[in-house]
Amino acid sequence: MSNLDRQATPSVCGGRGFVVAEPVRELLTPRRVQLGESTEVRRLLPNLGRRMVGAWAFVDHYGPDDIADEPGMQVPPHPHMGLQTVSWLHEGEVLHRDSLGSLQQIRPRELGLMTSGRAISHSEESPKPHARFLHGAQLWVALPGSDRHVEPRFEHHTGLPAVTAPGLTATVILGELDGAASPGTAYTPIVGADLTLTAGAEARLPLDPDFEYAVLSMSGEAEIDGVPVLPGSMLYLGCGRTELPLRAASDAGLMLLGGEPFAEEIVMWWNFIARSHDDISRAREDWVKGVRFGDVNGYAGARLSAPGLPPGPLKPRGRTR
């Protein structure tokens, strides 16, 4: 998915200065963002109070939407740089095309992982025909400086490993959880996991005290460390935890996001993550000129045009503001 916000505002984040070293319970509410004509998403990261969780730098939650008589998701070709995109569905399907020639349908609980590295472009659409309901999350992972110019790559993984406890299935999407590792390529110590809780479940999820964590609620009635978190909201948990208490009053679907606090300061604007204003400005210019980011074949429609850069240079402001 793309940041289709026409008033794309820069956000600068990263650095260890603003990481919460102890366990906290900080409820993050979403900002509603319209993506094109057909889809509204709830944006959890970047958030006014918090911009990253580990290397996770962008989280959109969408649906469940009834798209039986709708086009559904229609995100035209657009560029990425300096990040990985993670597509994760609970219902429906998304057809991914990219400038490497990938053409892949992504279904519920399959990992679509695109590493942009120095440059890639892609489109995402609901295929025709498609399932009635569309429900998922789109996330970005910032690449560390040493790997941000890697060759672009697309991975599709099915049959991801899971950790189970009574009433809980934790499917490892990216990184590692309790000894189970995702086959997806990760560039920083990170975890992304899908948590399925059954009604009445009480479970404790083992965590790494060196990681910071957050949990996104996607469906159902769940309590995370005693805090009720409604679908579409996210609870930031800080660092220093060895386990996380979870309870569910009904069947519930959550996403655990965590990682070693991202040490570098980054500049994020539109669909790019960089280290400086000039990096961003050059990437924008290259997309306008039609160079570097390649071509996406087969999407019925024009590619996205880049919004204008805001006046003045993009400056670092820390990871929470």
Q: How many CB atoms lie within 10 A of CB 168?
A: 20
Which is nearer to Mn ion, 2 or 217 (by Cβ)?
2
To Mn ion, the closest distance from the beta carbon of 75 in angstroms equals: 7
To Mn ion, the closest distance from the beta carbon of 105 in angstroms equals: 16
Alpha carbons within 13 angstroms on the beta-carbon side of residue 38 total 16
To Mn ion, the closest distance from the beta carbon of 22 in angstroms equals: 35
Distances, alpha carbon 172 to alpha carbons 88, 145, 169, 244, 248, in Å: 12, 25, 10, 16, 20
To Mn ion, the closest distance from the beta carbon of 79 in angstroms equals: 8
Closest CA to 102 of 113, 88, 86, 91: 113
CA dist 308 and 299 (Å) reads 24
Which is nearer to Mn ion, 94 or 215 (by Cβ)?
94
Which is nearer to Mn ion, 146 or 305 (by Cβ)?
305
To Mn ion, the closest distance from the beta carbon of 192 in angstroms equals: 17
Which is nearer to Mn ion, 3 or 217 (by Cβ)?
3
Residues 6+ apart with CB under 8 A from 285: none
State the residues that interact with Mn ion by CB under 5 A.
2
To Mn ion, the closest distance from the beta carbon of 167 in angstroms equals: 35
Which is nearer to Mn ion, 65 or 124 (by Cβ)?
124
Which is nearer to Mn ion, 215 or 306 (by Cβ)?
306
Q: The tokens of 302 are what? A: 């024009």
Residue nearest to Mn ion (CB): 2
Which is nearer to Mn ion, 125 or 260 (by Cβ)?
125
Q: The tokens of 240 are what? A: 């220093």
Which is nearer to Mn ion, 2 or 196 (by Cβ)?
2
To Mn ion, the closest distance from the beta carbon of 116 in angstroms equals: 9
Q: How many CB atoms lie within 10 A of CB 204?
A: 12
Alpha carbons within 13 angstroms on the beta-carbon side of residue 221 total 4
To Mn ion, the closest distance from the beta carbon of 103 in angstroms equals: 16
